[in-house]
Amino acid sequence: MTGTPTTEVTLNGASAPSMVRPPYAGTRTPRLVDVPTFRDFVALGWDAVPADPGIPDGAAAAAASHRARLSARHPGETLVVAAGQAPVRNNDCRYAFRADSGFVWVTGCQAEHSVIVLWARPGGHDAVLYLPPPFRPGDDGFFSNAARGELWVGPAAGLEEWAEALQITVEPLAALEARLPDLDGALFSASAGRLAETAHVEISAELDRSISDLRIVKDEWEIDQLRQAVYATVDGFAAVIGEVPRAIGTGLGERWLQGTFDRHARTIGNGPGYATIVGSGAHAPIMHWVRCDGPVLPDELLLLDMGVEARSLYTADVTRTFPAGGTFTQTQREVHDLVEKAHRAGLACVRPGVEYQDFHFAAMEVIARGLHDWGILPVSVDEALSPTGQHHRRYLACGIGHHLGLDVHDCTKSHYEIAKGAPLVPGVVMTVEPGLYFHANDLTLPPELRGIGVRLEDDVLVTAAGSEVLSGALPLDAAGVEGWMRSIQKTF
């Protein structure tokens, strides 16, 4: 305790105890870096703490092989790829950092501000990873830098630990900053934009395109990471379905379920791979309903689009649509059945040698025919399907599948001829996700269909023999979905 209570009269005339002012009140608090005694004192007396970079098993070897592929594609060119930095949220607070996927792919490293340079040399490249070292006892940053000071963020791996874990040459970031003139003519990825600006170099769309192209076919290690992400996601669906009665009963709603999945994802992996979508009733047809501020209604559909991002940063992306109360109405079931039929038509096209986009056309044909049979299309099926029609897309305006990997919409910078315009090959991982989105205010629809939204999304690996639905543990058909819900909720 400091100070002795005295009594003073307050504005309304009552007496109130007050304190004498504490020592040095009225002066400015000193900046600790300006206090030599403090700096000397805080620098000493710390036991060394081991700091493991925490790299997933196999990540270093996978990254080395990715680097070799990138190197082979760019002989004689020095390449610069960066992890990036978290954007400012406000003042000195930043959003959570998540390393650039291309950088992770070539390094296995997720450390903010890091940069890899593949220095061109005759016959190949020399890879050097440049990292901002953590501030440890003896550095002022140890106590004064909230981003890299170990007193703030805990023990952090240094250059030696990174070099050991990744089996790569590691140097301090300052060493690269001193070599900027040597980067004249180098190709900078978009993630290295800041450094490119400092070096007065344009970023290279070609480098990002190369990395994107090379990432389309996953190797065994990547497939294993995706498998783990998908399996963890299936477990997350079970956790969310277990909470549905509570969400309905207590009016906690969509956000409770979103939070349930996000906690699961953050516990099992790095977190959700994209903003978790939970749409009940009229929100189900809203394709990216991430606001999630509505109730969960027992007689309505509940659309869940969720993916765990593994610690390696590979993500799943899975959607199922549930009757929140456990049983589909006849109309809900019919819409679900049509989407299921379109989905199965799409899945049937996922195999080696088939054009990537065929799944899209196969699923769309089923959707257009179904809508026509229900009397919803104002034109013939042929006219709707033609490139100059597309009337059915009013009820399905989004893409119905994409490559999947480190990014939920993976490899989007690839050359068309290599990604969307190419035949499938073993090692491609993609989603198939047709849906029907009947908005509550869509006056072209019969009233009973308004406010129904269904999407079914699976993560699919192209194999030598055909394909494997990685998310196949979740049922696709309406009866299977009802049964699965019952079995999950019994155990909660």
* Residue 100 C-beta-side C-alpha neighbours within 13 Å: 24
- Using the rule CB under 5 A, which residue among 114, 431, 467, 471 binds Mn ion? 431
Strand partners, 431: 459
For ligand GLY, the closer of residues 213 and 317 by Cβ is 317
Helix (H, G, I), strand (E, B) or coil at 158: coil
Among 317, 340, 410, 458, binds Mn ion (CB under 5 A): 317
Residue 448 is given by DSSP the state: G
Cβ-based nearer residue to ligand GLY, 213 or 459: 459
From the list ligand GLY, Mn ion, none, pick the one residue 231 interacts with, judged by a Cβ distance below 5 to 8 Å according to partner type: none
Residue nearest to Mn ion (CB): 317
Q: Which residues contact 28 (CB under 8 A, 6 or more apart)?
A: none
Residue 201 Cβ vs ligand GLY, minimum distance, rounded to whole Å: 33
* Least Å from the CB of residue 304 to ligand GLY: 10
Contact 63, 107 (CB under 8 A): yes
Minimum CB separation of residue 315 from ligand GLY in Å reads: 10
Q: Which is nearer to ligand GLY, 136 or 402 (CB)?
A: 402
Rule CB under 6 A: which of 357-416 touch ligand GLY? Answer: 408
Roughly what angle, to the nearest 10 degrees, separates helices 358-373 and 330-347?
150
Question: What are the residues facing 423 on neighbouring strands?
Answer: 355
- Binding window for Mn ion (CB under 5 A); candidates: 68-76, 183-191, 214-222, 316-324: 316-324
CB 126: neighbour CB atoms within 10 A?
12
Give me the least distance between CB of 284 and Mn ion, in Å please.
16
Phi, psi dihedrals of residue 387, rounded to the nearest 5°: -60, -20
User: What are the φ and ψ backbone dihedral angles of 308, each rounded to 5 degrees?
Assistant: -85, 130
Q: What would the x/- binding string for ligand GLY be over residues 99 to 128, using CB under 6 A?
A: ------------------------------
Contacting residue, 150, 317, 340, 410, with ligand GLY by CB under 6 A: 317
Please check whether residue 71 is in contact with residue 123, taking contact to mean a CB–CB distance below 8 angstroms: no
Q: Is position 262 an interface residue for ligand GLY (rule: CB under 6 A)?
A: no
- As a whole number of angstroms, the distance between CA 395 and CA 321 comes to 16
Query: What does 168 interact with, of ligand GLY, Mn ion, none (CB < 5 to 8 A by kind)?
Result: none
- 305 near ligand GLY (CB under 6 A): yes
Could you give phi then psi for residue 124, rounded to 5 degrees?
160, -150
| Residues 208 and 102: beta-carbon distance below 8 Å | yes
- Closer residue to ligand GLY, CB minimum distance, 120 or 234: 234
Q: Of 60 and 396, which has the nearer Cβ to Mn ion?
A: 396
The Cα–Cα gap between 366 and 381 comes to 10
3-state secondary structure of 217: strand
309 near ligand GLY, rule: CB under 6 A:
no
Q: What is the DSSP letter of 238?
A: H
CB nearer to ligand GLY: give 152 or 274.
274
Residues 268-287 that bind ligand GLY (CB under 6 A): 274
Residue 274 binding result from ligand GLY, Mn ion, none, given CB thresholds of 5 to 8 Å by partner type: ligand GLY
Q: Are 215 and 405 in contact (CB under 8 A)?
A: yes
Binding stretches for ligand GLY (CB under 6 A): 274, 305, 317, 408
Binding stretches for Mn ion (CB under 5 A): 317, 431
